[in-house]
Each structure stands twice: as structure tokens, then as C-alpha cells.
């Protein structure tokens, strides 16, 4: 199967990674560059203590664990299917009591859906999934981009690297954040899933700050991508975005997590 797809106004490449799921790279929409690469570096899983004890020290629960989604946990071939108005890539992963389906959906109207269906069942009921997507969008080229978030009824420019949780506010299309390109005036609008406590990390692109091979940066320190965040300006720079979801397990599983992304201005 060729790893280049040219359909529905999109031209994308894909590959299976060792730990970051199904990666999309060099993706163009209507002949213009949208992203350099995008992947799912990891899904961490936290567990909560279900019963309280008198000893407060025992109530902290365990730290997170995770298993790479990649060739080692792939549970079937990558499927490329057409649907009305676009096409999608899908692949299943299985690791013990954890099962996932990673999806990349491309719509001819410029929408892009990087999704993850989480099947469970997990170790026990009280656990939370934290899928981390990393997007290196290059709107019409790498530099000259910026990030805005929708706040107090209008779009506000983000000055520096940082963490931007979803507050429940969005524009008329539901987008809470958008990456914009000054040269072309194009934008990528990100609409979070309303039921997954999404947050966005915005980091200036640096050669050397590649996707980490683990969320663990150092003992007691911040995990990635938070460990990458400094005070660097983002305005008119090359920006890398991390979309992190927090999905608590419940009886309604499977749950499909992930944002809607819409290309505007092309």
C-alpha cells in the first residue's frame, strides 16, 4: 500500500511509528501546505483510589503508566477508506486490557479529524485516559504563524508559549483556538470535544525539541509537553501545538476523543 494519498482536495503521507501511533506528514490541502507532521505520541493512564482509608498517605494512588502505540501494539493493518465527502485512515491497537482505534479523517471541505476511540476496559473503573496529540502545522510555510484563543467573546492573540485549557467558550463554529498565518491570512481552527476537558499547549518550534519518546522528563519534574514550555514569544513564529484530552472511563465506553480541525482561508 502506498503511503501517499491524494484524494478529496488533500494530499497526505502516513506511516506507522514505533511509539507515536499513525503519523501524518507533509499534508497539503488544495495544493497548499497545512502540516509538516502530526502524531499521537502517547496515551497515559491514571488510576484513582476507589476507597478511602484512614492513612492519608495511601490515598495518593499510583502514578501514570503507558504503553507505546506503534508497531509493537498494532492489532491489524492500516485501513484507508472513502466516505461521503472525504477519506479516513484507521488502525487498531491492543495492549492487555487497553484497546484503541486511531483515526485520521480528511474532509473535502477542509475539515480534519484526528481522533482516538478508547475501548477500555482498563485495570478497574476508576481510571482516566490522557491522549496527547502533537501537531506541527505549517500554514503556507513554517514561519509567520501565531496562536489565538477565543476568550470573552473574541479572539485574543497569545503572546508566549503556554498552557491553554478549554474554558467552554468558542466562536460560532465552536473553535476555541486557532493557528493563523500572517502571510496568507489562512487559519486552522481547533474545536475541542466538549466532554473531554481538553487543553492546548503551544510551543515555539525548535530543532531539537522533537516529539519525546516518553511523557516522563525527569523525576518529580513536569511531564512533556509541559516540560518544553518556556517564555518564548509565539507571535509571527513557527508554532507547535499539543492537544491533550482527559477522558474518564465510564459505562458509556467506547469513547471517541480528539478535536475537529477546520482549515479556513484557503
Residue ranges in 151-190 that form contacts with other proteins under rule CB under 8 A: 154-157, 180, 182-187
User: What letter does residue 222 receive in the DSSP assignment?
Assistant: P
Which listed residue (213, 230, 233, 254) binds other proteins by CB under 8 A?
Answer: 213
Segment contacting other proteins by CB under 8 A, of 107-115, 196-204, 209-217, 247-255: 209-217
In the complex with other proteins, which residue's Cβ is closer, 84 or 251?
Answer: 251
Q: How far is the CB of 61 from other proteins (least distance, A)?
A: 8
Whichever of 122 and 193 has its CB closer to other proteins, that residue is 122
Q: What are phi and psi of 157, to 5 degrees?
A: -70, 135
> Under a CB-based contact definition with an 8 Å cutoff, are residues 175 and 189 in contact?
yes
Q: Which is nearer to other proteins, 19 or 257 (CB)?
A: 19
- Choice from 22, 40, 47, 225 touching other proteins (CB under 8 A): 47
Q: Does 25 bind other proteins (CB under 8 A)?
A: yes
Among residues 161 and 238, whose Cβ is nearest to other proteins? 238
Q: Per CB under 8 A, which region of 110-118, 193-201, 204-212, 251-259 contacts other proteins?
A: 204-212
Q: What's the min distance (Å) between Cβ of 184 and other proteins?
A: 7
Report the C-alpha dihedral over residues 161, 162, 168, 173, rounded to 10 degrees.
Answer: 20
Q: Pattern of binders to other proteins over 106-145, x per CB under 8 A?
A: ---------------xxxx-----------x-x-xxxxx-
Query: What residue ranges in the chain does DSSP mark as E strands?
Result: 4-7, 10-16, 22-29, 32-47, 65-66, 79-83, 86-95, 98-107, 111-118, 127-137, 145-151, 154-157, 162-165, 177-181, 187-191, 199-204, 239-244, 247-248, 255-257, 260-264
Q: Does 82 bind other proteins (CB under 8 A)?
A: no
Burial environment of residue 167 by CB neighbours within 10 A (0 to 12, 13 to 18, 19 or more) = exposed
Amino acid at each position: 500500500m502506498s503511503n501517499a494519498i491524494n484524494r478529496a482536495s488533500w494530499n497526505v503521507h502516513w506511516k506507522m511509528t514505533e511509539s507515536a501511533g499513525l503519523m501524518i506528514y507533509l499534508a497539503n490541502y488544495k495544493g497548499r501546505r497545512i502540516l509538516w507532521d502530526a502524531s499521537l505520541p502517547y496515551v497515559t493512564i491514571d488510576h484513582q483510589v476507589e476507597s478511602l482509608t484512614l492513612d492519608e498517605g495511601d490515598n495518593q494512588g499510583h502514578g501514570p503508566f503507558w504503553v507505546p502505540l506503534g508497531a509493537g501494539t498494532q492489532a491489524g493493518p492500516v485501513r484507508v477508506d472513502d466516505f461521503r465527502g472525504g477519506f479516513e485512515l484507521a488502525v487498531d491497537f491492543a495492549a492487555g486490557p487497553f484497546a484503541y482505534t486511531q483515526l485520521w479523517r480528511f474532509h473535502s471541505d477542509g475539515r480534519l479529524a484526528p481522533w482516538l476511540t478508547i475501548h477500555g476496559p482498563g485495570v478497574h473503573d476508576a481510571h482516566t485516559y490522557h491522549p496527547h496529540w502533537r501537531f506541527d502545522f505549517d500554514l503556507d510555510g513554517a514561519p509567520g504563524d501565531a496562536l489565538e484563543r477565543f476568550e470573552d467573546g473574541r479572539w485574543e492573540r497569545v503572546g508566549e508559549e503556554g498552557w491553554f485549557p478549554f474554558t467552554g467558550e468558542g466562536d460560532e463554529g465552536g473553535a476555541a483556538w486557532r493557528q493563523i498565518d500572517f502571510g496568507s491570512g489562512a487559519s486552522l481552527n481547533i474545536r475541542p470535544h466538549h466532554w473531554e476537558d481538553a487543553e492546548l499547549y503551544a510551543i515555539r518550534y525548535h530543532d531539537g525539541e522533537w516529539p519525546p519518546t516518553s511523557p516522563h522528563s525527569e523525576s518529580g519534574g513536569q511531564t512533556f509537553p509541559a516540560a518544553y514550555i518556556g517564555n518564548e514569544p509565539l507571535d509571527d513564529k513557527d508554532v507547535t501545538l499539543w492537544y491533550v484530552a482527559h477522558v474518564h472511563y465510564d459505562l458509556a465506553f467506547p469513547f471517541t476523543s480528539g478535536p475537529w480541525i477546520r482549515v479556513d482561508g484557503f
